[in-house]
Amino acid sequence: MKKWLTVMLVIVVGVLLVACGDDKVSTAKTTDGKNVIKYQLMKGMVYPAELAVDLGYLEGIELESVSDFKGGTESVQYVGTGEVDLGMAFSAAVVKAYSKNVDLKSVIGYYGSDDLTNISAFVLEDSSIKNPKDLINKKVGVNILGAHMELAIKGYLKQGGLSDKEIESVQLVTVPLSSAEQTLRSNQVDAVLLMGQSKDLAVERGGIRELFSDIDVVGKNFTAGNYFFRSDYVKENPEVIKQFVEGVAKAIEWSRETPREEVVERMEKIIKERDPNESTESVKYWKSYGVGTEGGVIQEEEMQMWIDWLVENGELEKDAVTASELYTNQYNPYEK
C-alpha cells in the first residue's frame, strides 16, 4: 500500500508540474473572453500599458495586477519564475538575466531619457565640484546599484578621463529617491542623481546645481527600459503579444501628440479609478515617457550599448550575449 501511495504521489506531482508548466506559456481568460496578462503595478504611476487599456487600445486584454512593482531586478525574477507574465526593467538588467539563462524577450520600449524627462546629477549650489575629476574620493547617491543611475555616473567619469582606479575611488551610496534630495542637502553625499518627481521638486526648491544628465553621457535621447515576457510566452501567444505591442505603441504616440495637461488629467483619472486612496502627486510632474523611438521600437545599437557597458564593468563575459537575441520588433507596427 505504501509503495502504491508513493507511486500515485509521484504521478500527481508530475501532473501538477506539467500543468504549471502549461500555465506559464498560455494566458488565462476572463469570463468575456479577454486574455489576462499578469503584471506588477507601480503605485502613483501610469505606464504605457495601463494608458493603452484606458484609451481602448487593448480591448482583448485585461491587465491583472498581482503585486506592487519594487524594481526591475524583482520584475525579471518574477517573469522568469512565471509569477507574472509582463515585466519591465532597465535593459541592462534583462541582459544580465539572459546571460544567466533566464530566457526573456523584450518586445517594446516603455521608458527612457529625452529633453523633457531624464536622470541628472546634482551638487549643492556652492559646491566646488564642477567636473568629473572633482568627484574623485567623493560620495555619490544613486537609487540602485548596477542600474541606470550607475551607468550614468560611471559613463560621466569615464568620459572625463578618469582611470579605473580613480573611478573606483568614487563611492556610490544607495539612497531612496524619496530621501535623496535631503541626503545631498545635509552633506551626507557630495552629489546625488535624481529623476522624476524627486528631481523636479528639488529643482523647484533651489540651492542645487545640475552637474550632468544621462543624455549628456549617451549623447542622444534613448530608450532605457523595455517591456518583456518569457520567450516561450511570446512564442505560444503571438496574437496576444501582437495586440499588446500595437496598443502600447499607439499609447506612447498618443502621449506625445496630446497636450501634457490632458495626458496628466487622464493619468489622474486612471489612478483614482483603480484606488481612490492612491496618490496622484507623482503624475502631476509627468512630462514624457522618454522613449527614444517612434512607437517604442527597440534599436539593436541601444541593446548593444548595455551589453558593452556590462562587459566594460566586468559584469558580463565578452560575446556572452548577442543583442539580436534579446528582443523582437516583429509585432510593432512602427518598425520600418
Tell me, rounded to whole angstroms, the distance of Cα 268 from its chain centroid: 21
Which positions ≥6 away from 169 have C-beta within 8 Å? 136, 137
How far from 207 is each of 65, 75, 118, 126, 184, CA to CA, in Å?
40, 36, 20, 8, 11
pLDDT at residue 71 is higher than 90 = no
Mean pLDDT of 312-335: 93
Of 189, 101, 105, give the one whose Cα is nearest residue 149.
189
pLDDT, position 2: 46
Contact at 8 Å (CB) between 35 and 62? yes
- Output phi, psi for 2, to 5 deg: -60, -40
Do domains 2-112+221-325 and 120-218 share one topology? The answer is yes
pLDDT, position 32: 79
CA distance 200 to 32: 43
Q: Which three cell numbers stand for residue 331?
A: 509585432
pLDDT, position 20: 46
The letter for the amino acid at 227 is Y
Q: Which three cell numbers stand for residue 121?
A: 546629477
CA distance 111 to 222: 9
pLDDT at residue 38 is higher than 80 = yes
Identify which has the larger pLDDT, 182 or 27: 182
The letter for the amino acid at 62 is E
- Output phi, psi for 35, to 5 deg: -85, 130
Domain locations along the chain: 2-112+221-325, 120-218
How far from 10 is each of 4, 7, 17, 289, CA to CA, in Å?
10, 5, 10, 50
Contact at 8 Å (CB) between 192 and 180? yes
**How many alpha carbons fall within 13 Å on the CB side of residue 136?**
10
CA distance 283 to 38: 23
2-112+221-325: CATH class: alpha beta
pLDDT at residue 210 is higher than 70 = yes
Mean pLDDT of 76-92: 95
The residue with cell 582606479 is 165
What is this structure's pTM? Answer: 0.86
Q: Which of 27-36, 144-153, 155-164, 216-225 has the lowest mean pLDDT?
A: 27-36
- Output phi, psi for 139, to 5 deg: -105, 135
* Cross-strand bridge partners of residue 141: 173, 192
User: Three-state DSSP class for 224?
Assistant: strand
CA distance 272 to 255: 19
- 286 burial (CB, 10 Å; 0-12 / 13-18 / 19+) is buried
The residue with cell 555616473 is 153
pLDDT at residue 10 is higher than 80 = no
pLDDT, position 73: 85
Mean pLDDT of 192-201: 92
For the chain, give percent helix, strand, coil, nearest 5: 50, 20, 35
pLDDT, position 18: 41
Identify which has the larger pLDDT, 23 or 226: 226
pLDDT at residue 1 is higher than 60 = no
pLDDT, position 25: 59
Q: Which three cell numbers stand for residue 8?
A: 500515485
pLDDT at residue 3 is higher than 50 = no
The CATH architecture that domain 120-218 belongs to is: 3-Layer(aba) Sandwich (3.40)
| Terminal-residue alpha carbon distance, the chain | 65
Quick one: pLDDT band at residue 313, thresholds 50, 70, 90?
A: confident
Q: Which of 17-26, 157-166, 300-309 has the lowest mean pLDDT?
A: 17-26
pLDDT, position 26: 61
pLDDT, position 151: 87
pLDDT at residue 27 is higher than 90 = no
Give pLDDT tens digits for 170-181: 999 999 888 999
pLDDT at residue 136 is higher than 80 = yes
Percent of the chain with pLDDT over 70: 92
Which positions ≥6 away from 23 have C-beta within 8 Å? 82
pLDDT, position 184: 98
pLDDT at residue 21 is higher than 70 = no
* Cross-strand bridge partners of residue 38: 64
Q: Which three cell numbers stand for residue 325?
A: 537575441
User: Which range among 145-154, 226-235, 307-316 has the greatest average pLDDT?
Assistant: 226-235
Q: Which three cell numbers stand for residue 211?
A: 552637474
